[in-house]
Amino acid sequence: MNSWLQKQASQRPEHPAFYWQDEVWSFAEVAQEVNYWANEYAEKIPFKEKRVALFSRNSKELYFSILALWELGKELVFLNIQLSVEELRYQLTDAEVNYVVVAEEKMAILAEITQVTTVAMQRSEQAAKLKLPNIDVYQPEMTASIMYTSGTTGKPKGVVQRFENHRASALSTQENMQLTAEDCWLCPVPIFHISGLSIIIRQLVLGCSVRLYAKFDASAITADLVQGKGTIISVVAVMLKELLAGYPASGYATIFKAMLLGGGPIAPKALELCEEYGLCVIQSYGMTETCSQVVALSFADAQAKRGSAGKPLTGMKIKIIDNKGQNCLPNEVGEILLKGQNVVGNYLNGAQWQAVKWTADGWFRTGDMGYLDDDGYLYLVSRLSELIISGGENIYPTEIEHVLQELPGVKEVAVVGEADQKWGAVPVAYIVGDPTITVEKVNTFAQAYLAKFKLPKRVYLCDTLPRTASGKLAKQRLTTKEREAFFSK
């Protein structure tokens, strides 16, 4: 048995490990609590079930459930709580999951999916502290987690994240950010995203503390940072904007080190404010397939390399290739390829993607476009060219288009991103349909099949859609004032 949790409990039993609201657990207390939870789940989930899904917002119950299920050697499928029933059904079927551990308030959502057995995310007060099965856990090659990410095909792909991928990510982050066991990482981002789960991994690998939040609350987090309740926090751009809007005149406690920013670039004005306040913001680039950040821009370089995602972290290799597979010169735009221990090696049930996304010599094709400058700093030009990053969520237009095309009466659909002051960007839909198609009908249909954050925020009914001379859809023309020429009169 090679449990990361048990190792931390042995090495630093009294060290604060986990904070939730007004409660705190040391590593020894976390290990004891996890033992209770593990025995609870061992009674309810058959030993032969290697893969279990989790469906919950951030909570102490979710935290303990993750650690307990890993102690039982389970592979965890993380379900986004914003998904529609149809999206959940697809992912559970694709992952061949039979048991889902569900937060009580989410039980009703899964009631329609009869193919799975739901297990309440709770433990009885009488749960026994027993000796766990003597099985190998946290082994490098073992699957730790599976997270679904959308692609240009429209069908989400299950990203298989192994413990060795997670560990490599934690160690490279440790070196880049000079982390120690004395750090406390604030986690207001969802654990079902890699941005949140990677914080728990860092705790297990490095021995630092985690302060978990049910959701992002700028005022509550500001109060905690003022009181010195954390040294590092993970945020996306929309969160950073809210924190800056409420930044106190007295500043944060002196122990605060940095914000790790993901989910898209920071606006220049926000960066200027951070510099004015002396706030260290580490901009980063990463994805589900890389188990969090692989490229980061230090605060010291933020001014000189404005707009850059930074340099590769320790152990990561990066190159830019053209459409012929040749290496690009500095400042020449091409596709970004990555190689390193924290890059996953396959998708679940994704044999058809192996040769598409991974080269014969092990490079991962991100599908993102960018360039390296003369100093080796990465600049992103587009993320899959059409990717919409909305409040840190990756939204692929093709997935939305595939859904809307199923609505009877719809002839053509084009989904693009529109700038939004709060979220950075939001999806909007341009639709050509017969006279029965209305905005209300489109919205009602979409709500049944798409997660809330993927719903088109605006629907434009059109007579035609712009095309190139060869007949291809010219989406870029829908992002300019020219789009009005296509609206239905």
Query: Both tokens of residue 222?
Result: 């500001």
Buried-state track 91-106, b at ≥16 Cβ within 10 A, e below 16: bbebbebbbbbbbeeb
Under CATH, which number does the domain 388-486 receive? 3.30.300.30
pLDDT digits (tens, 9 = 90+) for 315-336: 999 999 998 999 999 999 889 9
Query: Both tokens of residue 201?
Result: 């991994």
Top mean pLDDT of 64-78, 361-375, 402-416 is at 64-78
Query: Which of 386, 387, 443, 383 has its CA nearest to residue 410?
Result: 443
Q: In the CATH hierarchy, which fold is given to the domain comprising 4-378?
A: Rossmann fold (3.40.50)
Distance from CA of residue 444 to its chain's centroid?
A: 27
- CA distances 272 to 12, 85, 124, 293, Å, are 40, 42, 51, 23
Taking the C-alpha atoms of residue 109 and residue 342, their distance in angstroms, rounded to an integer, is 34
CB 188 within 8 A of CB 214: no
Give every CB contact of residue 440 below 8 A, 6+ residues apart in sequence. none
Taking the C-alpha atoms of residue 21 and residue 1, their distance in angstroms, rounded to an integer, is 32
| Tokens 């048995």, residue located | 1
Q: Could you tell me whether strands 209-212 and 16-20 are parallel, antiparallel, or unpaired per DSSP bridges? A: parallel
Residue predicted with more confidence, 371 or 130: 371
Top mean pLDDT of 238-247, 266-275, 382-391, 395-404 is at 238-247
Which uninterrupted H or E stretch holds 401? helix 397-404
pLDDT score at 152: 46
Q: Could you tell me whether strands 143-149 and 75-78 are parallel, antiparallel, or unpaired per DSSP bridges? A: parallel
Average pLDDT for 359-367: 94
pLDDT digits (tens, 9 = 90+) for 93-148: 999 999 999 999 999 999 999 999 999 999 987 666 666 677 889 999 999 999 99
pLDDT digits (tens, 9 = 90+) for 147-203: 998 654 458 899 999 999 999 999 999 998 999 999 999 999 999 999 999 999 999
Top mean pLDDT of 47-61, 126-140, 271-285 is at 47-61
Other C-beta atoms closer than 10 Å to the C-beta of 369 total: 17
pLDDT score at 372: 96
- CA distances 242 to 5, 266, 421, Å, are 34, 13, 12
Query: Which of 426, 431, 453, 451 has its CA nearest to residue 442?
Result: 431
Distance from CA of residue 377 to its chain's centroid?
A: 23
Taking the C-alpha atoms of residue 244 and residue 268, their distance in angstroms, rounded to an integer, is 13
Taking the C-alpha atoms of residue 450 and residue 401, their distance in angstroms, rounded to an integer, is 11
| pTM value > 0.75 | yes
Give every CB contact of residue 107 below 8 A, 6+ residues apart in sequence. 118, 120
| Structural domain spans, the chain | 4-378, 388-486
Buried-state track 157-190, b at ≥16 Cβ within 10 A, e below 16: bbbbbbbbbbbbbbbbbbebbebeeebbbbbbbb
Which uninterrupted H or E stretch holds 66? helix 60-71
Average pLDDT for 267-271: 76
CB 257 within 8 A of CB 280: yes
pLDDT score at 334: 86
pLDDT digits (tens, 9 = 90+) for 419-475: 898 898 999 999 999 999 999 999 999 999 999 999 999 999 999 888 754 345 778
Query: Both tokens of residue 461?
Result: 């009914």
Residue 347 has pLDDT above 90, yes or no: yes
Residue predicted with more confidence, 319 or 412: 319
- 3-state secondary structure at position 301: helix
Q: What is the mean pLDDT of the chain?
A: 91
Query: Both tokens of residue 342?
Result: 């924290």
Taking the C-alpha atoms of residue 214 and residue 236, their distance in angstroms, rounded to an integer, is 16
Lay out the sheet containing 334-339: strands in order across: 317-321, 334-339, 364-372, 378-383
